[in-house]
Every structure is written in C-alpha cells, then in structure tokens.
Structure 1
Amino acid sequence: MDTSSPSIFVNGESLPLYIGKRVRAVVQVIQSDGADTTAKSTDEHQLIIKGLPVIPPLKFVEVIGIADGNQSVHAQTWTNFGDAFGTTF
C-alpha cells in the first residue's frame, strides 16, 4: 500500500473543504462523455469528475484525485466497481 500521498474520503458535502487536496470518493455515474463525468456522491450530491474514461451510467466508481472545485474532482486514478457495488448475490 502506497502511503506517500494519502487521500481523504469525501462526499459531496465535505468536498469543498478539501479544494486543492488529494481526495477519494465513491460515486455513481449519471452521464459520461469522455471529458467530464456527472456523478452522484454517497450523500446524493451531484459531482463533476474530470479525466475519467467513458463509463456507462449507473456504474459505481471509486475516484482518487485532486478536488478542484466545490463540486468537482480531477481524477488521477479510478476503480470501476460495476453495477453491483455493495450487493451480494
């Protein structure tokens, strides 16, 4: 585990407190066009994620990046959890 550049977990409400800092969030994709992705945070806020590849709607993604606005994150890395995040089969 790389601990040289830690990131804090955020949701839509807490994101503005960390502008310019490295953050981590789990979001559900609403719309993705390859430049900006509109997503819903765990507390139902709408966020813009910059730098993600095109991801189909309703997929869950963990994003690590820099908070660059009150409701936006510039993604550095991401993990696609698919559409079954948090469910059991």
Structure 2
Amino acid sequence: MNTSNPAVFVNGGLLSMYVGRRVRTVIQVLRSERGVVVGKSTDNMELVVKGSPPSVPLSTFVEVIGIADGEKSIRADIWTNFGDTFGMTLIATISSANLQTGSLSTCSSEVEAAIF
C-alpha cells in the first residue's frame, strides 16, 4: 500500500475544497459516454469522472481515486467496482428491524449516511 500520496475521502459537497489534490469517492454510475462517467455522489450531487475506466463494465457503485480537477469533477486513475447493491443489504436489514420493533427512529438514515 502506497501511503506517500494519500487520497482525501470526499463527497460532492467537499470536492470543491480539494481541487488539485488527490481524492477518493464512491459514486452511483448514472451514465458513461466517451471516457466520461457521470455519477451521483453520496450526498446526491452529480459528479463527472474523467479518465479511462477499466476494461470490464462498471458496476452500479464505483470507487474512484484521482485528482479533483474542478468543483464537480475528478480525473480518476484508479477505478474499483463495488457491485450493484453497495450498502443496500445493511440498510434494508436495519429498516426491517426498525419496522419489526415499532421503532420509527432515524437510525437507518444515520447508518446510511455513515456507510455512504
């Protein structure tokens, strides 16, 4: 593991604070066209990811690591497929448990925010 150039974990709202720096984020892929992937960040902002995605098809959820080259864009050099249901199993389980116990707390949204 290379620790000489760590990447800051960001969402759409934080990305603008790190323009020119190495960042990492998880997006939900919305569309892909000509070397550009458009995705939704964990805080529901639309981000543009430039670069060469892997030769295998992208899954629904992808982690990208690269340089923030704008307030809403990243030039990625590392792409990692996280699958098509990233984090959803835990959210469904917690939501189901809340319904079964009659709890209407905000637990599931807090956990969702922590996971994403």
Query: TM-score, with normalisation over the residues of structure 1?
Result: 0.89
Unaligned runs of 5+ in 1: none
1: CA distance, partners of 2:52 / 2:46: 16
For 1:1-89, list aligned pairs within 5 A.
1-53=1-53, 55=57, 59-88=60-89
Count how many residue pairs are aligned between Structure 1 and Structure 2.
88
Unaligned runs of 5+ in 2: 91-116
2: CA distance, partners of 1:87 / 1:61: 14
Equivalent residues of 2:9, 2:25 under 8 A apart? yes
Comparing both structures, which one devotes a greater share of its residues to helix? 2
Structure showing greater relative contact order (alpha-carbon pairs closer than 8 Å, 6 or more residues apart): 1
- Name which one, 1 or 2, has greater alpha-carbon Rg: 2
State the 1:87 CA deviation: 3.5
State the 1:88 CA deviation: 3.5
CA separation of 1:80/1:34 partners in 2, compared to 1, >3 Å: closer, same or farther? farther
* CA RMSD after TM alignment: 1.9
Q: Which amino acid aligns with 1:47?
A: L
Tell me the secondary structure at the aligned position of residue 14 of structure 1: helix
State the 1:34 CA deviation: 3.9
